[in-house]
Structure 1
Amino acid sequence: MTAPKPRIGLICPADHEMFGPVADRLRDRGYAVEFLEPGVELSTDRLDALDLLVNKKVRWESLHALEYAHRNGIPAWNGYVASMVFFNRLSQLGALAAVGFQVPDVHPDKPDGDFVAKGFLDIHEEPTLNGDGDFYQPLLDFDGIDHKYYAVDDGKTVQTAVTRFESKLFGERAFLGRGTPDPAVERRLARLLRFSGARALGVDVVEVDGESHAVDVNPATSFRRTGLEAALVESIASAVPR
C-alpha cells in the first residue's frame, strides 16, 4: 500500500508569483500542497489534516491558525512563536537590537521634526510619515531607499538576497533592482532566524551615514524578485517531519 503524501497547507493565493512555482516544485518532489485562502478562519478539520502549515499572509486569521497548530502539535514553517514576535512592532525592534542591528528610537508622543507613526501591531497598519500612531520614531536621515533583505534557512545554510525599493513613506514604492548583501547584515539575519526559530524572514534596512539600521521585520513576506525559489522549496521541505 502506497504511503500518503505529506500534506502542506499554504496560506497564500494560489496564483502567487513566487509561492505558486514553489508549490509546483514541492508537488514534483512528492508533497501534496493545498492553498488555503488568506483572511478567513480555517476549520480545525482542515488544519488537523496537515503535516505542515505555511503562512504567507500577515492576518489575524493566519495567527489563529498558527496558534491552533502550535497547541495541537501541527508543525509550522514560521510558526506561532516567531509570528507573535514579529507581528508586534515593538518586539520586532527588541529582536533586531538583540542580534546587533541599530534600530530607530521609540517615542510615545510625536517628536520634533519629521517622524514615522506606527501601530503596535503589524497587521493591516502601514507606517505613515508625520501621521498618527500608537508610537513614533524620528525619521532617519537616509536616502529614501529601502534595502529589503531576505533570509531563508534551507535546512543546511541561510541563503540571503536583497532588493532595493523607493521608500513607501514618500509615495509609490518603485523597484530599483537587486542589491549586493552586506556580510555584516547577513550575519545578523542568521542570528535573527536562530533567535526566533523562524525559517525565513524579510527585514527592511536603510543606510544612515554608512551604517545599517533595521526598521521592520516581515515573517510572511513575498520574496518577489529575490531568486530564492529553490531555497524556499528546500526550507519548506526540511520543515516537514520525517
Structure 2
Amino acid sequence: MSYSIHHEKHYIQRTGWLRAAVLGANDGIISVTSLIIGMAASGASSQTLLITCVAGLISGASSMATGEYISVKSQVDIEKADLHMEAHELKHNPEHELKELSQIYIMRGLKPELAHEVALQLTTHDALQAHARDEIGIHENTTANPLQAAGSSALAFSLGALFPMFSILVSPERYVAMTVMIVGVLSLAILGGLSSYFSGTSLVKGSLRVTLWGIIAMTFSAWIGSLFNLQPI
C-alpha cells in the first residue's frame, strides 16, 4: 500500500532565523533611536548625533552578533552533550532505554502494548533520534545554527539602526529629535507587523506590543538626556 505524503510548512521551522532577525532589528531601532533621542535632548548637534548613530550601529551589531553566537553555541553544546550521554545509555542499557521510551508514549495516551511496539520500531529504525526527539526534546526543525543566528542578528540590527541614521540625514537640525522619534515609532510598527506575519500571529497585537515598548524606551531616554541639557531655554 502506498501513501501520498503531504508536506506542510510550519511556522516553528522559522524559529532559528526569525528570533535572531526580529530581536536584532527591534534592538537596532529601539536602542539606536533611544540613544539619538537622549543625545538630542541633551543639546547635541546633528553632527554629533550622526557620529553617535554610526558608533551605536557598529558597536550594537558587533555585540548582538557575539551574544547571539555565544548563546546559540552554548545551546548546541548542551544538546551535543545530552546526545552523547543518551548514546552511551543506549549502548550500555538498551532495555532500560526501551522501557523509558515506552513509558513516554504511555504518558502521551498510548496503551502499554502499542507504546512498547512503537518504541521498539522507532528504536530499531533510529534509537538515538527517537530519544533525542521524544525524551530530550531535540528536533532538527528547531535546532538553531550559531553562525546563522549571529549573522541574522547583526544584519538585522544594522538595518534597524539605518532608520534613525536616515532620519538625521534628512531632517533639519531643529526637528531632528522629533523626526527620529516619528520614524522610529513607524518602523517599529512595521517591524511588529512583519514579525507577526512570519510567525502567523495577529498583526495588530504584534505591532502594538513592539511599538509600545519602543515609545517607553524613547521617552525615558529623552527624559534622561534632558537632565544634561544646560542650554538656556
Using structure 1 for the length normalisation, give the TM-score.
0.21
Structure with the higher helix share, 1 or 2: 2
Structure number with larger C-alpha Rg:
2
Structure with more relative contact order (C-alpha pairs < 8 Å, separation 6 or more): 2
Structure with the higher strand share, 1 or 2: 1
Using structure 2 for the length normalisation, give the TM-score.
0.22
